[in-house]
Amino acid sequence: MKRRLSAAVDYALALLMLLAAWWYATGPMAMPTYLLPSPLRTWNALAGIAMTGELWMHLGFTLQNIIVGLILGCIAGTAIAYVMTRFPKLATWLDGPLVILQTAPKIALAPLFVVWFGFGIMAKIVLVFSLVFFPVFIGAVAGFRTLDPKMKDLAKLLGLSALQRFRRIELPAAMPEVFVGLKIGAVQALVGAVLAEWMAGKVGLGYLMTFASATYKTPLLFAAVLTTVALGLLLHVALTFLERRLLSWKGVANG
């Protein structure tokens, strides 16, 4: 407990020093606002869009795309990984196309997604999905493949149905590996969501950034960037919490 508190103090001190350096650069050093707005101006810009509700609309849109993409990517990644480990024949068929898709840089595909799926929400979710799918898929394949064969014997002895076996044995056993993929995927999801908004559309934190930089509203740009950073932190905290709840049996609770 004491150690945790002192760590928190250390974090706070480091952040304070960063803030002080920022203030120093804009105040005594007199950096122009269009290059580096002061902490106060940035705060005012942030408070401004928070008051009008604009911030919440953009934040909500981006967060919603991330969550929908994460959930769909997780379900699809786990499901396809399971089907492939259950039916090795299918795996040999799907292996080639999947490797091509996997190695293709998804960021480079982003413009194509806009062409195919339009300026709306669809293209964004497809991009996030494509970024989340592969880490989860790879993790899940590893999880399903490393299942103790004796567990299969156990399932057979107990006469479990395919569904019981999946839900009660295979899925929980693969969860730690799925989670490794999910945590990588979540970082990618944020990148993907913001990037998709840069390219098209009129809403989202990414859009807010392009709008602010195009109109030389640097304080607003800073506000948008900081909000994105905060969103990333929030995702990380949420996933860590979820991991501790779901995988406490692994002994990660003290991590």
Partner 1 sequence: MGQSERMIDITSVHKTFVADHGTVTALEPVSITIREGEFISIVGPSGCGKSTLLRLISGLDQASGGTITLDVAGAVRPVGFVFQEPVLLPWKTVLENVRFPLDTSGVRRAQGDKTALDLIKMVGLSGFEKALPRQLSGGMRQRAAIARALSDDPPILLMDEPFSAVDLLTRDNLNDELLRIWQSTGKTILLVTHSVEEAAYLADRVMVMTARPGRLKCVHDVDLARPRGEDTKLDPAYHALVAQLRRDLRTPAGEAH
Give the number of other CB atoms < 10 A from CB of residue 77: 25
Which of the stretches 39-47, 65-73, 107-115, 157-165 binds partner 1 when contact is defined by CB under 8 A?
157-165
Shortest distance, CB of residue 241 to partner 1, whole angstroms? 18
User: How many angstroms separate the first and last alpha carbons of the chain?
Assistant: 14
Cα gap 195→20, rounded to integer Å: 30
Distance CA 158, CA 183 (A): 34
Q: Binder to partner 1 among 28, 96, 105, 159 (CB under 8 A)? A: 159
Asked if 15 is part of the footprint of partner 1 (rule: CB under 8 A), the reply reads: no
164 binds partner 1 (CB under 8 A): yes
> What is the smallest separation between the CB atom of 136 and partner 1, expressed in angstroms?
19
Q: Rounded to the nearest whole angstrom, what is the least distance from the CB of residue 158 to partner 1 in the complex?
A: 5
Q: Which stretch binds partner 1 (CB under 8 A): 13-21, 138-146, 156-164, 180-188?
A: 156-164
* 249 is a contact residue toward partner 1 (CB under 8 A): yes
- Residue that is written with structure tokens 């929400």 in the block: 121
Q: Which of 148, 19, 128 is nearest to 76 (CA)?
A: 128
Q: 121-145 and 171-199 are packed helices; what angle lies between their axes, rounded to 10 degrees? A: 150
Candidate segments 7-15, 48-56, 109-117, 159-167, binder of partner 1 by CB under 8 A: 159-167
DSSP state of 249: G
Of 97 and 159, CB closest to partner 1: 159
Instruction: Name which of residues 120 to 149 contact partner 1 (CB under 8 A).
Output: 148
Which residues, 6 or more positions from 209, have their beta carbon under 8 angstroms from its beta carbon?
A: 194, 198, 221, 224, 225, 228
Among 7, 40, 47, 158, binds partner 1 (CB under 8 A): 158
Asked if 143 and 177 count as a contact pair (C-beta separation under 8 A), the reply is yes
Interface mask toward partner 1 for 45-84; x: CB under 8 A: ----------------------------------------
Report in angstroms how near the CB of residue 45 gets to partner 1 at its nearest: 47
Sheet strands (E) in 200-254: none
Indicate the helix (H) or strand (E) that contains 205.
helix 205-214
Residue closer to partner 1 (CB basis): 215 or 248: 248
* Cβ count within 10 A of residue 88: 8
* Residues at the site binding partner 1, with contacts judged by CB under 8 A: 148, 150-151, 153-154, 156-160, 164, 168-169, 172-173, 175, 249-251
